Structure 1
Amino acid sequence: MDYGFEGKALIKIRKDNSTLKPSGADLKKKDESTVILIVSVLLSSSVFLNLLFLLAVFLLVFRFKYWKSKAIKPYPVMLGMNLRSYTYEELMEATNGFREELGRVENDEEAKNDMKRVQKYVMIAIWCIQEDPSLRPTMKKVVQMMEGAVEVSVPPGPSSFISSI
């Protein structure tokens, strides 16, 4: 050291006279920034997941409405009947390419009896619409024919009236 030198030396000393370790304020700032980062990540992911959930709900509702509108609607005259119409492809699938007959009434006694009853009612109806009023049965006789008390004979063909015209 040279004591003959006249000059000033500036020495910087901290007020709190602490060591060079980071202070508590710096640690608090780091902790706060970490907490802020974690909270912001959680909130943004929560918002993202909520948006994803809303999108999924919207798509489900839209899809169900779309499927419902594409469903086969009954004709207005068949509202109370609950009948369904089938496409050709559905019939092909149900019958294995029409190899299997559906609803065959060949040996069905109930269906045979129904057909006999229909034939009887058609013959009674033809008797009731005869051109010549004298050939038409009375209401009493019609009821008896429908109940089976009187046998229904085969009505005359329309050719007898055509020849008289």
Structure 2
Amino acid sequence: MTTPKRAGRKGSTPKVPVGRVPSPSDILAAAQSAVETAQSAAVQALDAAQLTAGHAFDAAVRLPPASAQLAAQLPDLLENLSIAVDRLNSTIDRLDRTLALADPALAAYDRLLPRLEAMIGLGEDVFATLAKLPGVSLLGRRLTGRTPEPPPAPEPPKRGRRR
């Protein structure tokens, strides 16, 4: 049985499976969801501030000084929240433009990576085949002038202390 959505409730943000790189549309959807949530919080805070202001005049005599101080700071807090939402909107726009510019490069990388992986695999196969030929290691030493590295000395076995 499912629970019906309330009228003012938005759908949840799309979930990205673990191990998958989010696409530009996933990032944009998450950012837009964050903006909607911030705007919703700002509207709720503004409504609460208006309601508080209406009651503040009636209850000004009964308010403790700390509550009056908090009520006085509320307009500045709402202004700061509004500025933060505007900055978030501009950041989302900038991110959208950047991803649009980077999209052709990312597509080229996607086409190029399988080819590079195939080339690396081919190179490893060639080296493995050459290593099987007799005398190739000697030829490699003569061409490079390097001597083979001696294998590391085996570590002596650790003995436990006897009592």
Q: Same fold (TM over 0.5)?
A: no
Higher helix share: 2
Bigger radius of gyration: 1
Structure 2 length normalisation: TM-score?
0.27
Higher relative contact order (CA 8 A, sep 6+): 2
